[in-house]
Each structure stands twice: as structure tokens, then as C-alpha cells.
Chains A and B, each alone.
Chain A
Amino acid sequence: MKFRDAILVAYRGLTRHWVRATLNVLGIVAGVASVIMLVSVAHAVGGTAKAAVAGLGANLVVVYPAGASTSGVQLGIGTPSSLTSSDVTALSNIANVPDEVQNAVVPSAGVRQNVSALDHSWQTDIIGTTAGFGIERGYTISEGTAFGPTAVSAAQLTVILGQTVARQIFPDVDPIGQNVLINNESFKVAGVYAARGYSGVYNQDDLVVVPITTLWQWVLPTGSAQIQQILVQASSTSTTTNVATEVTNTLLRQHNITDPALADFRVVTQQDLVASAERLGTVMQWMLGAVAIIALLTGGIGIMSLMLATVGERAYEIGVRRAVGASREDILGQFLIEALLLAVVGGIAGIALGFGGATFMGDVLTDIPAPVVTGLAVLIAGGVALVIGVGAGLYPAVRASLLQPVEAVRRQ
């Protein structure tokens, strides 16, 4: 039998049983498309998590308070923050921070509250910080002005709005110079940040910024003044580790702690965060990939049972072919090529649908980053389709080839 004829025979075998062939193809299409979509979404989400952390700014060292710990046992949430204003001052004196010390060591604290003006109200994050806030992350003032060191030292009632907040409570009015109410105190709007958009699922424009002293004095309940994090920016990537060490040593000295294991704060560098975000992304990709491959395997089993049924139904046809001279290899070949054709058609359609689906998901689900269809996802999905298509086709094909030629006369 000529190879070209083998292909034609298989092709005719499929078109003659097009309903079954279509079901088979749909199984593969669904499997392949879901592999591609899931892996793409995972890749995108992982990518944004990484980008979000990277978006924190380069060369950052972040200090978080940790409940005072005794021999490594945390004393729990709700313990007052261990970070103080004098810690901030001490950190500002570290050698290789950039020239603008105010911008480089930035404490902050936040609370979720309503901001209102006239008839509009909006719940958002109220961030209390100092003049340097957001510079390392690329926040810039698009209208009005940022507040300076005096606003902090005098705890002025001044506020800078994120774009989302500005649009929500001042839909028709220029917000600059207007008053907004936070915790029944009247704040003057000094500026508005330029729009930044989403980072992952986090809307970077949904916040307002006030001097940290103002937050303590006018917004938070008395006695709950605290620092939730201090950002220290090193002058370059190569000095980040040194800065982290110096920050740690400085704070240990400040807090009179000799054993670093008992530190009541945590120092994390941006590289640490990027690495864990990357790990998270990879884990997610593998997890979703595994789910999708299970889906594809299930599809493969479906295909196999469909093919086995086919062999039963087509025993007569197989017998006739055997009677007129088809050898076992011819029959094996016919069924394998049929499976291969299904896998190729299903694979290509599935890849196309996966692309389409990923794009569609990117368009519709704005909260989720646009999925990225990677070559690897396509390769994996295509390969799996081929392996499963042919794998599922192999057993039925062997069964078909073992049917005896007398089948032709037996079934009538």
C-alpha cells in the first residue's frame, strides 16, 4: 500500500464518520485550548506579580515591624509596631543612600476609610507618609503640588489624591484647592497623582496620601500612632545588600537587641520579593498546567473509548478490507493515521482557540492582566495533543489490526 493511499484511506475513514471525528477533534481542541489558556493566564499573573514587586522600585530595602519575638516565637498581630520615628531618623544617616535623604528613607502607615466631598464619598486607602512617598515607585504629581517637610513636621491637613479617588469624589470639579472630609476633619487637596493603572489586581490610583503625622493626629484613634513600614532606597543594586545589613545593624542598636534572632523587625530587599514572586509564578504555572494536562488526559481517555467503540462498529469494514488484501500493518496504519489526523486538526484548532480565548479573557477580565501565549505553552499543548491523540489511538488500532479477516463474513 502506498503512503499517499494510506493517508487517503484514513481521511475517508474520518469523513465517512464525521460526527465521531468531530467529537474526537472537539475533545482535543478543548484540552489543548485549556492548556494554552491556563498556562498563559498563569504566566501573565506570575509575570505581573513579579512586575508589581519590581515596580516597587529598584534597590529597595523594606523594613517591617514584627511582633517582639522571644526565641523565634512571634508575639502575634496587634502588638504595637516596633518601628519609631527615631528609627527613621537613625536610618536616614546611613552612608550610601542617595543624596536626597528625605526621599530615600520613607516611613508609612495606612488605614482604610471614607473620603468625602459634597455629595460624593469613596472608601480608599489613606496612606500617611513623608515627602518622599512614591518616588521610587514612579508616582508623580500631575496637578498641584506634593507636600514638603513642613507639612509633615506641622501635621498639616493637606492631602494628595490618587486618580481614581479624584474622579470619584470630584467628577465635575477641579479638585485642587477643594476640601475633602476624612474622619470628620477637613483636608485641603494639594495635588493629584498622575494615573498609574493596575498592577496585577491592585489599582494603584485608589489611594490618598497625607503627612504621616497628620494621619496619627487626625485620622487614627489616639494611641495607635505607628509605622507599618520603612522604605530605604540604596544608591545602586550592588550596594543593596550592604544597606540591608546596615539597616539591620542600625535598628538592632536602636532597639538594644544583641541577638539578631530576637529582632522585632524584618528587613527584606526587593530582590528577595522578586525571587519569591517568580517562584509563585512558576508554581502557579505548573499547577494550572497540571490541571490542564489532567483535563487533556481525560479527553484522551474519552477519545480512546470512542475509538474502541469505532473498532467494534467497524469490525465488518475491517474484515472486508482484510478479505481483499489489507495486512495487519495496513489496518494498524489506517487507524493510527486517523488518530494522528484528528490530533493534528484538533491540536491546530485548539491552539487557535487557545490564542483567541486568552486574548478574549484579556479583553473581558480587566482585573486580570492580559494573558501571554508563550511558545512553551503552545509547544506543550501541541505535543500533549499529539501524544494523547496517537496514544489513545494506538490501543484501538492494535485491536483493529488483530481482528480476523473472517469478520467480514461473520457480521452481516
Chain B
Amino acid sequence: MIELASVGRTYGSASAPVTALRDVNLVIQRGEFVAIVGPSGSGKSTLLNLIGCLDQPSSGRLLFLGEDTSTLNDTKLSRIRNRSIGFVFQMFNLVPELTVYENIELPLVYAGVTRQRRALTTKVLERVGMAHRADHPASLLSGGEQQRVAIARALVNDPALILADEPTGSIDPVSAEQVMELLGELHDQARTIVLVTHNMSVAAVAQRVVRIEAGTINEIGHSPVAETRGPAAQVTAAAISATVE
């Protein structure tokens, strides 16, 4: 589904470049659950933003469903983000002044969906258990609630790929558990999931763990837990409770 070929990403000016990623080669298959782990500042978010077409590589090639993203114009890239990708960020990234409902329907608005909009929005709203808060301003929710709203927003256009950047990083353990459960369910429904975390026990839910350090991928391993999918959710929940403080 995604293919990165010697991808590099450099920030800053030519005189003072900051290399966040260097010569990254990575293939993500359709239906995979991949965890990207690494210390803070190692380039995890940078990599995820590239995969999510929020950003473009400085060098190398990134193929999304076989298409080189550097050849796609803004409209096509926006369309990919809108239809094929659902983003979940560490800080939720809702529009604070909009209501829960309005935040969730945003992708449908930009997709030009009108007739089905209410039904689709309500469906994901119920799925994340936030229907009773539909008309609340997003800013008034707790972190865990905001993250569930963000997941609903990521799901509403039924994307094939879910990208989550430290989704449990800013919420309480119980909410974190719910978020990981939801991600597990989404994977079970044949979605591709890429999860960024610096927490190994959270990464344990994934089928594959990609380790990144100082901008380069130096280890690719298979999670032992992922071999026994199904009860994974419970294992994860226990692991999270133990490690997230």
C-alpha cells in the first residue's frame, strides 16, 4: 500500500539544515498493523506525516497505492488525505470552537457528501460512544473524549489507512485502553494501521514494529504479541495499565 524508497526529509534552511529522516526504505502492506517506535526527536512524526501526505519528502520517492506522491497536485493529495487516510494525533487536533458533531463531519464536508452526511456522522459518533456529547464544543471535552471524537473523525470517510501519532500519549489510562481497543477493532476490519509510539507495550499490539533512531530505520522486528491476535486487546490493556502513568 505504501512504499518509501530512500526517503529523506530535511527541515530548515540550506545553510542550517536539520535532517529529520535519512535514507528510509519501508514497505507497508495492505491490512498490516505497523508500530513505529523510537525515542523522542527520532523522526517518527516526520515519517508519519510523509506517509499521510501532510508533507513531502526532501529526497527519495514515496508511493501511495502505487502513485509517486511528488507527481500529484494539491487537489489529488487533498483527496487522498480526505478519502483514504484517517489521522489520529497525540493532541487530538479538533477545531476547538466547533461542536463534536461539526468536527466529525468535516471530512464529509470536504468530500462533498451531503445526503448521507448525518447518518454517517451519527454512526461513528455512536461507535466511539460520544453521541450524548454531539452538540458540545470540542474544547470542553476531556482529553480521552477528544481523542474518541478524533477517532470518529478519522473513521467517518471509511478510509483504508489509519495513521495514529502517539494517540495515547496525552490521555488517561482508561481512555488509552479504549483507544487501543478501537484501533484493534479497526485492524480486525481489514484496515491498514500505522501507529507511532515511544511506548513498547503499546507497540506490542502491532504485527510489526519498526524502530527508528536519529532519522534512520535500524531494526525491523515482529511483535511476539501480534502473533496471537484476538486476545491482543486484553493483553494490551494490561500492558498499558502497567506502563502508562
Contacts and interface: CB of A to CB of B under 8 A. Distances in A.
Contacts of B110: 1, 321, 324-327, 330
Contact of A404 (B55, B82, B93, B165): B55
Nearest to A408: B93
Interface stretch (B21-29, B95-103, B185-193, B200-208): B95-103
A325 B82 contact: yes
Contacts, number: 85
A324 B107 contact: yes
Given A9-B109, A326-B78, A320 B94 contact: yes
A222 B119 CA distance: 103
B232 interface: no
A322 B78 contact: yes
Nearest to B170: A412
Contact of B75 (A327, A404, A408): A327
A406 B55 contact: yes
B78 A409 contact: no
Interface hub of B54, B87, B98, B106 (most chain A Cβ within 10 A):
B54
Complex A-B, nearest 6 residue pairs according to Cβ-Cβ distance, in ascending order: A325-B82, A327-B78, A325-B110, A16-B97, A412-B91, A405-B54
A325 B81 contact: yes
Contacts of A112: none
A10 to B, nearest CB: 12
A316 B138 CA distance: 15
Interface in B143-171: 153, 157, 165
Given A1-B112, A12-B98, A409-B165, A325 B54 contact: no
A5 interface: yes
Nearest to B46: A406
B57 to A, nearest CB: 13
B114 interface: yes
A174 interface: no
Given A409-B49, A412-B91, A324 B97 contact: no
Interface hub of B74, B157, B165 (most chain A Cβ within 10 A):
B74
B83 interface: yes
Interface of A: 1-2, 4-5, 9, 12, 16, 316-317, 319-330, 404-406, 408-409, 412
10 contacts: A2-B114, A5-B112, A319-B93, A325-B107, A327-B75, A327-B78, A327-B79, A405-B81, A409-B45, A409-B54
Contacts of B49: 406, 409
A2 to B, nearest CB: 5
Contact of A324 (B75, B82, B114, B165): B82
A5 B109 contact: yes
Interface residues of B, number: 33
B111 interface: yes
Interface in B46-101: 49, 52-55, 74-75, 78-79, 81-83, 87, 89-91, 93-95, 97-98
Interface hub of A1, A321, A409 (most chain B Cβ within 10 A):
A409
Contact of A405 (B55, B75, B111, B153): B55
Contacts of B81: 322-325, 405
Contacts of A323: 52, 54, 81, 87, 93
Contacts of B90: 412
A12 B245 CA distance: 39
B62 to A, nearest CB: 15
A73 B60 CA distance: 88
Contact of A406 (B54, B75, B111, B114): B54
A264 to B, nearest CB: 81
A198 B82 CA distance: 71
Contacts of A412: 90-91, 93
A323 B40 CA distance: 23
Nearest to A9: B109
Contacts of A408: 54, 89, 93
A208 B63 CA distance: 98
Nearest to B97: A16
Contacts of B98: 12, 16
Nearest to B113: A2
Given A329-B75, A406-B49, A409-B89, A324 B153 contact: yes
Interface hub of B81, B91, B93, B94 (most chain A Cβ within 10 A):
B93
B89 to A, nearest CB: 6
Given A12-B98, A406-B55, 13 more contacts: A5-B109, A322-B54, A323-B52, A323-B54, A324-B87, A324-B110, A325-B107, A327-B79, A328-B75, A329-B75, A404-B55, A409-B54, A409-B165
